[in-house]
Amino acid sequence: AWGGSLVFLISLSGLHTWQAILGCELREDGSKGGFLHYGYDGWDFISFDKETLRWVTAQPQAQKVKEKWEEDTGWSESNKIFLEETCIERLQRYLSHWKRTLEKTGKPPFMPLAEKKICVYPTPNYRRGK
């Protein structure tokens, strides 16, 4: 549902790229942040403002996409929920895991996967020179 089909309102011919970048942050004071941006053919295209539930165009061609996406209030609501809840929950789990990992002390145990000894004995070649 990421609105990918709407990019075809722009151009149907040739090869094009449609990119999304999103993220969230949990600040030390407990406040949260989040962003969702789309790019088209290497250019900023449209971004989501989670505070107003509106889409902000970076290119004139994005206007039709903005209008379509803003008609569907559920689409905007689900993006806000993802950025403020789902993404934050995943970030907290990730940070918790790595905090426990980094707090472990001591040298990890040596665990060889396989052990094989090879002995090589040189033998003279008496036929050398013949």
What confidence score (pLDDT) does residue 122 get? 63
Structural domain count of the chain: 1
The enclosing domain of 88 has a CATH number of 3.30.500.10
What confidence score (pLDDT) does residue 100 get? 80
Dig out the tokens for 83 from the structure. 């950025």
What confidence score (pLDDT) does residue 89 get? 95
What confidence score (pLDDT) does residue 1 get? 42
Cα 105 to Cα 27, 94, 96: the distances in Å are 27, 20, 16
What confidence score (pLDDT) does residue 119 get? 65
Query: Distance between CA atoms of 84 and 129, rounded to whole angstroms?
Result: 82
Enclosing domain of residue 91: 18-119
In a domain, 27, yes or no: yes
In a domain, 112, yes or no: yes
What confidence score (pLDDT) does residue 102 get? 74
What confidence score (pLDDT) does residue 54 get? 97
In a domain, 58, yes or no: yes
For the chain, residues with pLDDT lower than 70 are: 1-12, 105-109, 111-130
In a domain, 129, yes or no: no
Burial readout 7-30 (b: 16 or more C-beta within 10 A, e: otherwise) = beebeeeeeeebeeeeebeeeeee
In a domain, 3, yes or no: no
**Is the whole model's pTM more than 0.75, yes or no?**
no
Residue type, 43: W
What confidence score (pLDDT) does residue 62 get? 94
In a domain, 125, yes or no: no
In a domain, 61, yes or no: yes
In a domain, 97, yes or no: yes
H or E element at residue 47: strand 43-49
Q: Quote helix, strand, coil % in the chain, to nearest 5.
A: 40, 20, 40
